[in-house]
Amino acid sequence: MAVILAAVAGIGLGIMDSRPGFDATGITAGGLIATGAGSALLDGSGALGWATLYALLLALWIISLESAAAPTAVVALIFSLIGSLGAALLLRLRAPRVHGV
């Protein structure tokens, strides 16, 4: 389910960000961070490999749709990594669950 969220949100953010006249970088960056974190939290495992996959699924759509602005579009990967890896690390820091208590 988290993979689907990351892929669909990545497509949506990529289409929105590549529209002519769209100049709201903060919305795109916030969407990447929030969706990356949401995907990792939805997964719930705290696995860094899965979190990296979610970040790639989010950012690759923006990178592919904005090939003319490649250096700027690669920054999308950084924002998606912040969200997904940050959430995965927070999941790893949570207290272990004790069954029966």
Q: Is residue 56 part of a domain?
A: yes
Q: Is residue 16 part of a domain?
A: yes
Q: How far is CA 100 from the centre of its chain?
A: 35
Q: Is residue 62 part of a domain?
A: yes
Percent of the chain at pLDDT exceeding 70: 91
Q: Is residue 88 part of a domain?
A: yes
- Write out the residue range of the structural domain in which residue 62 sits: 2-93
Give the predicted TM-score (pTM) of the model.
Answer: 0.84
Q: Is residue 42 part of a domain?
A: yes
Q: Is residue 98 part of a domain?
A: no
Q: Which range is least confidently modeled, 32-36, 49-53, 97-101? A: 97-101
Q: Is residue 99 part of a domain?
A: no
Count of domains in the chain?
1
Interatomic CA distance for residues 45 and 91, integer angstroms: 7
Would you tell me how many other CB atoms lie within 10 Å of the CB of residue 10? 29
So what's the pLDDT on residue 100?
Answer: 61
